[in-house]
């Protein structure tokens, strides 16, 4: 039976995953039937039944590639990245000319932080399509997620040659450069990201965080101010803005710090995060100290 195959696009994070969504043929009738059962189970939202059916199809015919593909996508959607890597790897062994198969394997490796298999997958995919944007970017993200900063820089530079206006990639490049201690290069990457996309608040936040770590308080405050103007609810930026102002140690800056802490407190009032609770406790102590200072110096701070 010749059955038409269509592609179902499944979006996971920033990755595009491809699974077969129509009935297909196999050498073994049982494998074909189980694969089709899996597709029908997925359509009905019964993912556990779909996983079982795809596994049964593979057991019936281990050379039948289609159930590996769909099973891998299901594992990925369930955040079972390790098994997704295993299954996608088997699929690419059976379908060594399928570009999407190598994409899926590479993207799963990014999430699993499996650099060895990921590098092999992206290399194989790039042999089929050397200029593929998804593969070039995925390769860079593989090394970023694996904290291999030097390789991440190398791969992001390769990707950005053809895609210079990707603000997120520029920020990721900046992060890798920063972790290598290349601060000038990191600043340049963050600044370029903010030029490419002036409304990308995270680019300003990252730049501010770098300056904060280097105790360049005024530059840090300027960057965090831009982030909070873009997103008035960016509580992390408000907190860091308060820290930067406080460190400048003038009466005017103390007032600005107090107001930033106050904004942070209002934005996080309902947060149950242990990290946020700790930050709120610290902010409250500092605000109490600042209030005492303002009252002693007769400074209007509201």
Q: Is 60 exceeded by the pLDDT of residue 44?
A: yes
What are 157-181's pLDDT values in tens digits? 999 999 999 999 999 999 999 999 9
Instruction: State residue 20's pLDDT score.
Output: 55
Q: Is the pLDDT of residue 18 over 70?
A: no
Is the pLDDT confidence value at 191 over 60?
yes
Q: Is the pLDDT of residue 127 over 70?
A: yes
Q: CATH assignment of 1-146?
A: 1.25.40.10
Query: Hey, what CATH topology would domain 202-302 get?
Result: 1.25.40
Question: Over 80: is that where the pLDDT of 193 sits?
Answer: yes
Count other C-beta atoms under 10 Å from residue 224's C-beta: 30
CA distance 141 to 7: 25
Length of the chain: 302
Same fold across 1-146 and 202-302: yes
pLDDT at 4 over 50: no
The Cα–Cα gap between 278 and 266 comes to 15
Which range is least confidently modeled, 8-22, 55-69, 98-112, 120-134?
8-22
The predicted model scores a pTM of 0.85
Distance separating alpha carbons of residues 145 and 73, to the nearest angstrom = 20
Q: Which pLDDT score is estimated for 302?
A: 83
Measured CA to CA in angstroms, residue 294 lies from 100, 122, 285, 297 at distances of: 63, 59, 14, 5
What are the boundaries of each domain within the chain?
A: 1-146, 147-197, 202-302
pLDDT bracket for residue 24 (50, 70, 90): low
What number does CATH give the domain 147-197? 1.25.40.10
DSSP 215: T
- pLDDT above 90 as % of the chain: 90
Residue 13 above 70 pLDDT? no
| pLDDT at 43 exceeding the cut of 70 | yes
Q: How confident is the model at residue 29 (pLDDT cuts 50, 70, 90)?
A: confident
Q: If we measure between CA atoms, which residue out of 90, 26, 86, 17 comes closest to residue 53?
A: 26
């Amino acid at each position: 039976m010749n059955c038409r195959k269509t592609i179902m696009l499944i979006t996971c994070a920033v990755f595009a995953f491809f699974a077969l969504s129509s009935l297909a043929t196999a050498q073994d009738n049982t494998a074909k039937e189980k694969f089709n059962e899996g597709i029908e189970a997925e359509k009905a939202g019964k993912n556990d039944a779909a996983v079982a059916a795809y596994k049964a199809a593979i057991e019936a015919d281990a050379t039948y590639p289609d159930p590996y593909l769909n099973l891998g996508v299901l594992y990925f959607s369930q955040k079972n990245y390790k098994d997704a890597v295993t299954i996608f790897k088997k699929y690419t062994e059976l379908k060594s000319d399928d570009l999407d198969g190598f994409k899926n394997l590479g993207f799963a490796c990014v999430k699993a932080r499996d650099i060895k298999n990921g590098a092999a997958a992206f290399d194989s995919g790039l042999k089929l399509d050397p200029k593929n944007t998804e593969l070039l970017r995925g390769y860079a993200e593989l090394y970023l997620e694996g904290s291999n900063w030097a390789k991440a820089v190398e791969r992001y530079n390769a990707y950005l040659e053809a895609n210079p206006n990707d603000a997120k990639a520029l920020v990721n490049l900046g992060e890798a450069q920063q972790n290598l201690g290349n601060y000038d290069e990191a600043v340049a990457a963050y600044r370029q990201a903010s030029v490419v996309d002036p409304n990308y608040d995270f680019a300003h936040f990252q730049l501010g965080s770098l300056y904060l770590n280097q105790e360049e308080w005024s530059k840090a405050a300027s960057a965090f101010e831009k982030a909070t103007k873009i997103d008035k609810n960016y509580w992390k930026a408000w907190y860091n803005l308060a820290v930067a102002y406080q460190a400048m140690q003038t009466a005017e800056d103390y007032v600005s710090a107090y107001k930033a802490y106050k904004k942070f407190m209002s934005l996080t009032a309902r947060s149950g995060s242990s990290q946020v609770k700790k930050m709120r406790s610290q902010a409250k102590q500092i605000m109490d100290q600042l209030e005492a200072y303002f009252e002693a110096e007769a400074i209007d701070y509201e």
